[in-house]
Structure 1
Amino acid sequence: MKKNIFLVLMGILSVVSHVCAQSLPQETSQSIGIIEFVLKNSKYEDTKCDIHSCQMKSKDGGVSLTLTHATMKQDKEEDLHYLLKINVQGTLFSTKVEVRYRNDPSKQTMKTGKRSDEVDSSYKTEHRVLRSWIQFIKDSTTSKS
């Protein structure tokens, strides 16, 4: 009986430690949430697109987005598909964020300041949010065309 309880406890501990090991740093997760809120609650009026990139700017000028398709060199050397640059200049905070979307859709890299975090598909919520930013820009720019 004691052996069974011990095995069950060890199993629970291994599952819990594995789940905890798969979490993003709290700062990264919070940054994604804050940027998501700012992006989705800003109104955009200035949108410019060409063959390989789109730029969007909020009405108040506080948020600017640039989505660029990778060059062949970036594709080959960095495994890059899209590069998203977000610049937020506000009264409460200012930040620059760079999200590198890889050719493998399950992987992204988010850079804020000197910090760089890999956000793969094991971080379901954050991964989904980062993927939604590309779709948000695509939807916003195609509706203006």
Structure 2
Amino acid sequence: MKPLLLLIVVFAATSAISKFVTSNWSLPLSANLAMCPMLCFTALGHFMFPKGMAMMIPPFIPYKTALVYITGIAEVLLGLALLFPALRPYTGYVLIVFFILILPANIYAAIKHIDLEKGTYGGPGPNYLWFRIPMQLFLIAWVYYFSISSSI
């Protein structure tokens, strides 16, 4: 919920500033500026809660902790890449693939009741998916619309 709130607040603020300063709504710019801090914020979880994040990865995948750190770094780099118009469409495609690839980990974590912040099995459970899956689809649509289709 916090990442989505951050995305919307930064988008609204940068859109308003853009309209005030340039007299134009620069929605693709504002949307990509908003996605950058959202990705950096979610990346923090990879470094603050590596145990819980590693628990989200199914048992058959090796090197869980390393994967947590690598994906955290990737989120920061992808967020920063959105700030460069020449990289934006390519970054958008990579982000969509990333969002698709992490969804099974979120589903697994919900089914196993993983609390990523505490690194325990006391999380919200499968009901969380009623929020998480639509949010993931929203993020994919956001990236497609503002990073890819707006750049074509």
> TM-score band (shorter)?
0.3 to 0.5
Please give the TM-score of this superposition, normalised by the length of structure 1. 0.33
Q: Which has the higher helix share?
A: 2
Higher relative contact order (CA 8 A, sep 6+): 2
Which of these two proteins has the greater Rg computed from alpha carbons?
1
Q: Which has the higher strand share?
A: 1
